[in-house]
């Protein structure tokens, strides 16, 4: 019998966190699918990687960032001209609390 990494209880918790309602059949199906995925990871863990350097990026890129250059910013009036709501010199947004 294969080891079960994820139980139906785990799937129920994941569904609750994602605000998804699952039928009993879906819980069973997702439990099986999660366990198959984790079984693949277990197989990958068996690969001998001794002497293999870690890969942080698949392409041999060094520094892909642009240089910081000081530039004049957008004038306040220009930035606010298409704002749906503004108050004084600021964007106004709905209260979120």
pLDDT tens, position by position, 21-72: 999 999 999 999 999 999 999 998 899 989 988 887 777 777 778 888 999 9
Question: HSE-up of 4 (CA within 13 Å, CB side)?
Answer: 11
Q: Which residues pair with 90 in a beta bridge?
A: 87
Q: Report if residue 51 sits inside a domain.
A: no
Q: Report if residue 17 sits inside a domain.
A: yes
Q: Report if residue 19 sits inside a domain.
A: yes
Is the pTM value of this prediction over 0.75?
Answer: no
Q: Report if residue 34 sits inside a domain.
A: yes
Distance of alpha carbon 94 from the chain centroid: 27
Q: Report if residue 83 sits inside a domain.
A: no
Residue 3 phi, psi (nearest 5):
-70, 140
Number of domains in the chain: 1
User: Residue 23 sits in which domain range?
Assistant: 8-45
Read off the CATH number of the domain in which 16 is found.
1.10.20
């Amino acid at each position: 019998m294969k080891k079960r990494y994820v139980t139906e209880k785990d799937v129920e918790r994941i569904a609750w966190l994602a605000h998804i309602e699952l039928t009993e059949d879906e819980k069973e199906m997702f439990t099986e699918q999660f366990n198959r995925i984790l079984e693949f990871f277990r197989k990958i863990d068996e690969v001998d990687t001794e002497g293999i350097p870690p890969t942080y990026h698949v392409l041999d890129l060094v520094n892909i960032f642009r240089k910081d250059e000081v530039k004049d910013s957008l004038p306040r009036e220009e930035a606010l001209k298409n704002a749906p709501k503004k108050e004084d010199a600021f964007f106004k947004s709905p209260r979120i609390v």
